[in-house]
Amino acid sequence: MLRDQNLILLSRQHQHALALCVRIDRAVQTGEVDLEAWQADMVQQFQAEIAIHFAAEEKELFPVAQHLPGLKPLVDELLGEHAVLRNYFALAAGRKLDVGELHTFAGNLSTHIRKEERQLFETLQKSVPPAEMAALGAKLEKALKDAAQACALPNPATVLRPRSDP
């Protein structure tokens, strides 16, 4: 299903965060992980976009969703995941993640985003009347106005390069 225009800003931000997850996963697979650089990238993306994104969801989106039939358990689960993900970002800010935790973080964030897109957003689009979705979209736009509007450029140390065979 196409994404409702009132949820597009959140979906774009999801794409940015998923790009970070894919880059982390690929780095871990190659075994070339500069933990300092990856944690710096995580913190930069959290400060520029993800913290604002979480706050907008929690203030504007989740209250609407939790009143829809059957969505309260999902909203509670997503709120719990926000707390876990914030903890990973805090650990990254203190440069306390190891490679395994970095990889787990990427998996958790990716799973969380897909859950929001496939379950929460799909149900909202089917259940919330157009006028209410438009009002929600206006609130989300205002709540997200201070977030970065483009995917963050990776630290040069976190850009994957093709391997050169000897």
Q: With left for phi above 0 and alpha for psi between -120 and 50, is residue 95 left, alpha or beta?
A: left
Would you place residue 85 in the very low, low, confident or very high pLDDT band (cuts 50, 70, 90)? very high
CA distance 101 to 131: 43
CA distance 142 to 12: 15
What is the residue whose two structure tokens read 């992980």?
A: 33
What pLDDT, on the 0 to 100 scale, is given for residue 124? 97
> What confidence tens digit (pLDDT) does each residue in 22-65 have?
999 999 999 989 999 999 999 999 999 999 999 999 999 999 99
Cα–chain-centroid distance for residue 95?
20
The class that CATH gives domain 8-146 is mainly alpha
Q: What is the largest CA-CA distance in the chain?
A: 62
Length of the chain: 166
What pLDDT, on the 0 to 100 scale, is given for residue 159? 57
| Alpha-carbon distances of 93 from 41, 70, 99, 135, rounded to whole Å | 10, 36, 15, 35
Q: Closest by alpha carbon to 57, among 18, 127, 112? A: 112
- Number of other CB atoms surrounding residue 161 within 10 Å: 8
Q: What share of the chain in percent tops pLDDT 70?
A: 88
Q: Are 28 and 45 in contact (CB under 8 A)?
A: no
Locate the domains of the chain by residue range.
Answer: 8-146
Q: Are 39 and 92 in contact (CB under 8 A)?
A: yes
Sign of the dihedral through C-alpha 87, 88, 90, 91? positive
Q: What is the mean pLDDT of the chain?
A: 91
> What confidence tens digit (pLDDT) does each residue in 95-108 have?
999 999 999 999 99
Average pLDDT for 78-85 = 98
HSE-CB for 68 with a 13 A CA cutoff: 21
What pLDDT, on the 0 to 100 scale, is given for residue 82? 98
